[in-house]
Amino acid sequence: MAPGDTPAAPAQAGAVVVSGADVLRLADIGFEAPTALLAGYGLVLETVPGGQPIPGSYWGECEAGLVGTTVYARADTPVHSLLHEACHLIVMPPERRALVHTDATDSVAEEDATCCLQILLADRLPGVGSQRLMADMDAWGYTFRLGSARAWFENDAEDARAFLAARALP
Protein backbone atom coordinates (compact mmCIF):
# COMPACT_ATOMS: atom_id res chain seq x y z
CA MET A 1 0.00 0.00 0.00
CA ALA A 2 1.52 3.32 -1.01
CA PRO A 3 1.38 6.38 1.27
CA GLY A 4 -1.97 8.05 0.88
CA ASP A 5 -3.58 4.84 -0.43
CA THR A 6 -4.89 3.66 2.91
CA PRO A 7 -8.35 2.57 3.88
CA ALA A 8 -10.23 5.69 4.88
CA ALA A 9 -12.87 6.15 7.50
CA PRO A 10 -16.20 7.60 6.38
CA ALA A 11 -16.31 11.26 5.33
CA GLN A 12 -12.69 11.38 4.29
CA ALA A 13 -11.89 12.71 0.83
CA GLY A 14 -14.30 11.28 -1.71
CA ALA A 15 -16.32 9.24 0.78
CA VAL A 16 -19.93 9.87 1.64
CA VAL A 17 -21.43 8.96 4.98
CA VAL A 18 -24.81 7.39 4.41
CA SER A 19 -26.48 7.42 7.83
CA GLY A 20 -29.59 5.77 6.40
CA ALA A 21 -27.61 2.99 4.69
CA ASP A 22 -28.94 -0.53 5.16
CA VAL A 23 -26.24 -1.80 7.50
CA LEU A 24 -26.35 -3.95 10.61
CA ARG A 25 -26.91 -1.91 13.72
CA LEU A 26 -26.62 -2.84 17.38
CA ALA A 27 -30.41 -3.07 17.58
CA ASP A 28 -30.14 -5.95 15.07
CA ILE A 29 -27.64 -8.02 17.08
CA GLY A 30 -28.09 -6.76 20.63
CA PHE A 31 -25.50 -5.50 23.09
CA GLU A 32 -24.62 -8.75 24.89
CA ALA A 33 -22.10 -10.23 22.41
CA PRO A 34 -20.38 -6.89 21.62
CA THR A 35 -20.13 -6.13 25.36
CA ALA A 36 -18.44 -9.49 25.99
CA LEU A 37 -16.12 -9.10 23.00
CA LEU A 38 -14.95 -5.66 24.11
CA ALA A 39 -14.56 -6.79 27.74
CA GLY A 40 -12.10 -9.42 26.53
CA TYR A 41 -9.85 -6.54 25.48
CA GLY A 42 -10.31 -4.54 28.67
CA LEU A 43 -12.89 -2.18 27.14
CA VAL A 44 -16.34 -1.16 28.34
CA LEU A 45 -19.35 -0.76 26.04
CA GLU A 46 -21.60 1.97 27.40
CA THR A 47 -25.14 2.13 26.01
CA VAL A 48 -26.43 5.61 25.19
CA PRO A 49 -30.21 6.13 25.19
CA GLY A 50 -31.86 6.71 21.82
CA GLY A 51 -31.84 10.29 20.63
CA GLN A 52 -29.05 11.31 23.00
CA PRO A 53 -25.68 12.50 21.66
CA ILE A 54 -22.97 9.85 21.73
CA PRO A 55 -20.01 10.98 23.87
CA GLY A 56 -16.68 10.95 22.07
CA SER A 57 -18.19 10.41 18.61
CA TYR A 58 -15.81 11.73 15.96
CA TRP A 59 -18.39 11.53 13.18
CA GLY A 60 -21.49 12.43 15.21
CA GLU A 61 -24.99 11.19 14.42
CA CYS A 62 -25.20 7.48 15.28
CA GLU A 63 -21.45 6.74 15.09
CA ALA A 64 -19.74 5.12 18.08
CA GLY A 65 -17.63 7.27 20.39
CA LEU A 66 -14.52 6.85 22.53
CA VAL A 67 -13.49 8.27 25.87
CA GLY A 68 -10.63 6.42 27.52
CA THR A 69 -11.36 2.70 27.55
CA THR A 70 -15.10 3.21 27.10
CA VAL A 71 -16.83 2.81 23.74
CA TYR A 72 -20.20 4.56 23.56
CA ALA A 73 -23.00 3.44 21.24
CA ARG A 74 -26.75 3.55 20.78
CA ALA A 75 -29.10 0.92 19.38
CA ASP A 76 -28.92 2.72 16.01
CA THR A 77 -25.10 2.65 15.94
CA PRO A 78 -23.81 0.57 13.02
CA VAL A 79 -21.92 -2.56 14.08
CA HIS A 80 -19.03 -1.57 11.79
CA SER A 81 -18.74 1.76 13.64
CA LEU A 82 -18.68 0.09 17.05
CA LEU A 83 -16.01 -2.37 15.90
CA HIS A 84 -13.93 0.32 14.18
CA GLU A 85 -13.77 2.56 17.22
CA ALA A 86 -13.15 -0.35 19.60
CA CYS A 87 -10.37 -1.64 17.34
CA HIS A 88 -8.63 1.73 17.51
CA LEU A 89 -8.35 1.19 21.26
CA ILE A 90 -7.33 -2.45 20.90
CA VAL A 91 -4.42 -1.76 18.51
CA MET A 92 -2.99 1.20 20.43
CA PRO A 93 -0.56 0.85 23.33
CA PRO A 94 -2.45 0.59 26.64
CA GLU A 95 -0.82 3.75 28.00
CA ARG A 96 -2.46 5.79 25.20
CA ARG A 97 -5.95 4.40 25.81
CA ALA A 98 -6.56 6.44 28.95
CA LEU A 99 -5.80 9.64 27.01
CA VAL A 100 -8.16 9.01 24.09
CA HIS A 101 -11.13 11.28 23.65
CA THR A 102 -12.98 11.22 20.33
CA ASP A 103 -10.01 11.02 17.91
CA ALA A 104 -8.00 7.82 18.24
CA THR A 105 -6.01 7.75 15.01
CA ASP A 106 -2.27 7.93 15.52
CA SER A 107 -0.90 6.83 12.15
CA VAL A 108 -1.73 5.33 8.79
CA ALA A 109 -0.41 1.97 9.99
CA GLU A 110 -2.71 2.08 13.01
CA GLU A 111 -5.72 3.01 10.87
CA ASP A 112 -4.99 0.13 8.50
CA ALA A 113 -4.64 -2.30 11.41
CA THR A 114 -7.91 -1.01 12.85
CA CYS A 115 -9.77 -1.70 9.61
CA CYS A 116 -8.24 -5.17 9.36
CA LEU A 117 -9.00 -6.06 12.97
CA GLN A 118 -12.62 -4.92 12.76
CA ILE A 119 -13.10 -7.29 9.83
CA LEU A 120 -11.48 -10.16 11.75
CA LEU A 121 -13.48 -9.53 14.93
CA ALA A 122 -16.78 -9.41 13.02
CA ASP A 123 -16.61 -13.21 12.84
CA ARG A 124 -16.84 -13.30 16.66
CA LEU A 125 -20.22 -11.58 16.67
CA PRO A 126 -23.21 -13.84 16.00
CA GLY A 127 -25.20 -12.66 13.01
CA VAL A 128 -22.41 -10.43 11.68
CA GLY A 129 -19.34 -12.08 10.12
CA SER A 130 -16.57 -10.57 8.07
CA GLN A 131 -18.35 -10.71 4.71
CA ARG A 132 -21.36 -8.74 5.99
CA LEU A 133 -19.13 -6.28 7.82
CA MET A 134 -17.09 -5.56 4.67
CA ALA A 135 -20.29 -5.02 2.66
CA ASP A 136 -21.51 -2.62 5.36
CA MET A 137 -18.19 -0.75 5.31
CA ASP A 138 -18.57 -0.27 1.55
CA ALA A 139 -22.23 0.78 1.86
CA TRP A 140 -21.33 3.32 4.55
CA GLY A 141 -18.63 4.99 2.50
CA TYR A 142 -15.27 3.62 3.62
CA THR A 143 -12.89 4.00 0.71
CA PHE A 144 -10.18 1.60 -0.36
CA ARG A 145 -7.62 1.83 -3.11
CA LEU A 146 -8.73 -1.48 -4.62
CA GLY A 147 -12.37 -0.35 -4.67
CA SER A 148 -13.85 -2.34 -1.81
CA ALA A 149 -13.15 -3.48 1.72
CA ARG A 150 -13.06 -7.11 0.59
CA ALA A 151 -10.57 -6.47 -2.23
CA TRP A 152 -8.31 -4.56 0.17
CA PHE A 153 -8.62 -7.18 2.94
CA GLU A 154 -7.95 -10.12 0.64
CA ASN A 155 -5.26 -8.57 -1.58
CA ASP A 156 -3.60 -5.57 0.04
CA ALA A 157 -3.73 -5.82 3.84
CA GLU A 158 -0.35 -7.49 4.46
CA ASP A 159 1.04 -4.49 6.34
CA ALA A 160 -2.05 -4.35 8.54
CA ARG A 161 -1.79 -8.07 9.31
CA ALA A 162 1.92 -7.66 10.17
CA PHE A 163 1.04 -4.75 12.51
CA LEU A 164 -1.51 -6.95 14.27
CA ALA A 165 0.81 -9.98 14.44
CA ALA A 166 3.57 -7.84 16.01
CA ARG A 167 1.09 -7.06 18.81
CA ALA A 168 -0.14 -10.67 19.11
CA LEU A 169 -3.60 -9.66 17.85
CA PRO A 170 -5.72 -11.93 15.62
Read out DSSP for 65-116?
A: EEETTEEEE-TTSBHHHHHHHHHHHHHS-HHHHTT-BS-----HHHHHHHHH
Cα 120 to Cα 93: distance, rounded to the nearest angstrom: 19
Residue 13 banded pLDDT, cuts 50, 70, 90: very low
> Are the CB atoms for 118 and 160 separated by under 8 Å?
no
Query: In this structure, is residue 9 part of a structural domain?
Result: no
Domain that holds residue 81: 26-166
Query: In this structure, is residue 7 part of a structural domain?
Result: no
pLDDT, tens digit, for every residue of 44-76? 999 999 999 999 999 889 999 999 999 999 999
The residues that bridge with 73 in the sheet, in sequence order, are 47
Triad 126, 130, 131: Cα angle to 5°: 110
Is the pTM value of this prediction over 0.75? yes
pLDDT, tens digit, for every residue of 82-132? 999 999 999 999 889 989 999 988 799 999 999 999 999 999 999 999 999
Query: In this structure, is residue 40 part of a structural domain?
Result: yes
pLDDT, tens digit, for every residue of 15-48? 334 556 799 999 999 999 999 999 999 999 999 9
Q: What is the DSSP letter of 133?
A: H
**Domains: count for the chain:** 1
Query: In this structure, is residue 124 part of a structural domain?
Result: yes
